[in-house]
Structure 1
Amino acid sequence: MSDADDLKETDPQNSRRDFLRSAGLFTVTAAGLAGGLELLTRRPGAASAEAQGTVLVRPKRPLGPYDTSEAITPWAQATTYNNFYEFGTDKGDPARMAASLKPRPWTVRIDGEVKKPQTVDIDTLQGWFPLEDRVYRMRCVEGWSMVMPWLGFPLAALIRRLEPTGKAKYVQFTSLYDPKQFPGQRGNVLDWPYVEGLRLDEALHPLTFMAVGLDGRVLPGQNGAPLRLVVPWKYGFKNIKSIVRITLAEKQPQTTWALAASDEYGFYANVNPAVPHPRWSQATERRIGELGRRATLPFNGYADQVAGLYKGMDLRRNF
């Protein structure tokens, strides 16, 4: 589903890894390129590299054990219809404003209840792991959904590398706070920086993913560059973007949306069509690019894999 046929891979895994590592030399987003640098040769009538993002055309691959076979949301929609309040509250604000985000240089601090706390450069961090493709459903708490082809690595691989202590029960994630890069942070719509969290067993689940790319391209700013969390059985606001800190903790983190409206946005945020939002039903969703609505599935269709994490819990109270 890529928009260009340049930069074909000879070895899919190595090419993707080399490309993403090289992003420190030339930062690419779908919204813009600092200094006007273009990495794709323009063809008559072709969109610019700024509009396309840098493309790796990948050979078709069989579906993996975690992939959905549903139709992937087109790039043009996946990168222009976004919630990212750091850029603004309108769906189009992130794509319009994403050029202000500078995802290189970038470091991630990993601390708390780990035996190997450290601050690591984003290119070093992603180079620790073989990068994987994952095609996941994404369900927003607002009642719309997409299917997203992520590129990244399992969060469990990172956590195990850092050796959590016996006290670690939760993982807290913190986004970048920089009003120069994030104009939405100049207002008080939320208490900045954005913070999210998972139980440790949720973080270690094989579906839980750290994305550094989207559809074979460097992750665009509006989609959470250079590093975002993807937890496909939870509402989208759990999938924190532009992460600068990962902290393993003994106590449950206080998360941004739970602090803003605890009766509307709980810590768990598992997709549950039987539990309405106080202001709308969650029983159905609008898939972006489709007409009409479809039924929302428990745990966003991942119940077989993750329902066991919540055995015995009241998922109405722990929403």
Structure 2
Amino acid sequence: METNEQTPQMPEREVLTTEQQIRRRTLKAFGLFGLASLLPVGIWKYVTSQPKEAGILKPLRAILNSNEQVANTYFSNQHLAPTFAVEQAAKAVRINGREGIRTELDPATWQLQIQQPGRETMIVTLDEIKALPKQELVFDFKCVEGWSQIQHWGGTRLADLISHYKLGTRTGQPAASEADYFNYLGMETPDKGYYVGLDIASAMHPQTLLAYEMNGEPLTGPHGAPLRLIIPVKYGVKNLKRIGTMTFADDRPRDFWAERGYDYHVGL
């Protein structure tokens, strides 16, 4: 049946940029407006007069850091994202965010650069990554903007790459325990336009993939070809597309959205 009635528009989703949406979600997470009504005027003025740290007021950044410490207490390799049958995966995978992938890239020239303190940069090709054990994962990809979608990805576990090439340890030898690893792993796109930082436990999580397939086919450019990060225990902003460089370090690597006022952990 035909009708002239139009579907109502959603101004927030149409008008706000991703950055603005993330900032709004951050404010909601703090309950900022409710907090303002409960705090004495003097304390509220103090909070709002403080300098910013990584994009937000310093006291609020301290709250985010505290929340992250709490989240780290229950994070483990046994904390797995729910998985689904392949038949449940979306055929048209949603495209979201183009930071770091706006320029053209010839997949044939792509190489993964791996940097570790005190060592020469290592180069790994896509064929070498594909030679590692392949894993497939169907899970509910969640975005901080409020949407989710069941998606099907294929690739190799990041932990398998780290183990195979003896990466991420201070000695350059296989790790005897988690304490042997550097604390963090940073990833950047080839053009340095987008970057994320992960704690080493999240990087080594059994569901964290270096994905080169989507729905059983090679990745497309808008989805991060030739290689991207899939990390189901984090929101989508941590799932970096088109990985160019991986860097191990004991200090936190820079993180695109953490610099813009969001929390560093971004865990589910």
- TM-score range relative to shorter protein: 0.5 to 0.7
Q: SS of 2:163's equivalent?
A: helix
Which one of the candidate residues 37, 57, 69 is aligned to 2:84?
A: 69
Sequence identity of aligned pairs in percent?
Answer: 31
Which one of the candidate residues 232, 250, 263 is aligned to 1:266?
A: 263
Match of 1:171 in 2: 185
**Residue 75 of structure 1: CA displacement?**
2.3
Match of 1:153 in 2: 156
Say yes or no: does 1:84 pair with 2:98.
yes
Q: Is the 8 A contact 1:173 1:196 kept in 2?
A: yes
Work out the CA distance in 1 between the residues paired with 2:222 and 2:164: 29
**Residue 266 of structure 1: CA displacement?**
1.3
Match of 1:124 in 2: 128
Q: Is the 8 A contact 1:175 1:242 kept in 2?
A: yes
The one-character-per-residue Cα deviations of 1:195-235 (angstroms, maximum 9, x if unpaired) are 11111111111111110100110011111111111111211
Work out the CA distance in 1 between the residues paired with 2:238 and 2:108: 24
Q: Is the 8 A contact 1:114 1:248 kept in 2?
A: no
Which one of the candidate residues 106, 109, 125 is aligned to 1:105?
A: 109
Q: Is the 8 A contact 2:184 2:198 kept in 1?
A: yes
Q: Is the 8 A contact 1:167 1:249 kept in 2?
A: no
* Structure 2: segments with no counterpart, 5+ residues: 1-79, 171-179
Match of 2:240 in 1: 240
Amino acid at match of 2:223: N
RMSD between superposed Cα atoms in Å: 2.4
TM-score, normalised with respect to structure 2: 0.60
- Evaluate the alpha carbon distance shift between residue 69 and residue 125 of structure 1 in structure 2; reply closer, same or farther with a 3 A threshold: closer
Q: SS of 2:160's equivalent?
A: helix
Amino acid at match of 2:84: S
Q: SS of 2:151's equivalent?
A: strand
Work out the CA distance in 2 between the residues paired with 1:109 and 1:156: 16
**Residue 69 of structure 1: CA displacement?**
2.3
Work out the CA distance in 2 between the residues paired with 1:240 and 1:194: 8
**Residue 176 of structure 1: CA displacement?**
1.5
4+ runs deviating over 6 angstroms: none
Q: SS of 1:201's equivalent?
A: helix
Amino acid at match of 1:238: K
TM-score, normalised with respect to structure 1: 0.51
Match of 2:41 in 1: none
Q: Is the 8 A contact 1:171 1:197 kept in 2?
A: yes
Match of 2:136 in 1: 133
Q: Is the 8 A contact 1:108 1:120 kept in 2?
A: yes
Match of 1:196 in 2: 196
Q: SS of 2:257's equivalent?
A: helix
Q: SS of 2:88's equivalent?
A: coil
**Residue 87 of structure 1: CA displacement?**
5.2
Q: How many residues are aligned here? A: 177
Amino acid at match of 1:250: D
Q: SS of 2:263's equivalent?
A: coil
Q: Is the 8 A contact 1:130 1:153 kept in 2?
A: yes
Work out the CA distance in 2 between the residues paired with 1:87 and 1:113: 27
Amino acid at match of 2:200: L
Work out the CA distance in 1 between the residues paired with 2:232 and 2:101: 23
The one-character-per-residue Cα deviations of 1:91-146 (angstroms, maximum 9, x if unpaired) are xxxxxxx8x3322221011111487851122222222x121211121100100111
Work out the CA distance in 2 between the residues paired with 1:118 and 1:155: 16
Greater fraction of residues in helix: 2
The one-character-per-residue Cα deviations of 1:44-89 (angstroms, maximum 9, x if unpaired) are xxxxxxxxxxxxxxxxxxxxx976226634322x15x32223456x
Greater relative contact order structure (CA < 8 Å, 6+ sep): 2
